[in-house]
Amino acid sequence: MKVLFYLATIAVLVPLQAIVLPHLSVWNVKPDLGLVAVCLIGFLAGELEGVLVGLTLGWVMSLFSADDLGYSMLTKGGIGFLSGLAGRQIAHMTPAVLALGLMIASALAGLVMASSLRLGDEQDLWWAVRTVVLPQACFDAVVGGLVYWLAWSRLNIERFVLDQRF
């Protein structure tokens, strides 16, 4: 049943990211819903499912975008693993703590991508960090925090996490 849920999540996120989000961007910055979903799945379901969903989602999203295959798979898989570890170590996760962790993860993934690009003379690494990486990290954190807050306030997330973990 989980596999079907994860496949449906991937099947919905990829077209949503590619078709709808470019029209909903703020200052030409759109959130990375794949990164947000992998972070939430890793936190709620554990490291193994976070890695597997992250690798799969990274592979599928790289097929339909201009992302590098290795970059997308490794960053999303690594973030899924790290969020699964964080979910195991943090006793009481609040939406603010999750948003902060998601902002750090998104900023690190964006920094890796920005450092691998060949930027022109007018555009250096600081320009990429200031205009793309930090706004997208903040936007990812807000979206992830809102999604977790909605699930946290409407559903019994703590019971779900305990059922999944033990």
> What is the CB neighbour count within 10 angstroms for residue 30?
18
Burial class (CB in 10 A: 0-12, 13-18, 19+), 92: exposed
User: Given pLDDT bands bounded at 50, 70 and 90, which one contains residue 68?
Assistant: confident
Give me the pLDDT at residue 121, please.
62
The CATH T-level fold of domain 2-20+32-165 is: Arp2/3 complex 21 kDa subunit ARPC3 (1.10.1760)
Residues 27-54: pLDDT tens digits?
777 888 888 899 888 888 888 998 999 9
Extents of the domains making up the chain = 2-20+32-165
> DSSP label at 13?
H
Give me the pLDDT at residue 18, please.
80
Are 87 and 48 within 8 A, CB to CB?
Answer: no
Residues 86-134: pLDDT tens digits?
888 877 777 888 888 889 888 888 888 777 777 666 677 777 777 788 8
Would the pTM count as exceeding 0.85?
Answer: no
Give me the pLDDT at residue 160, please.
55
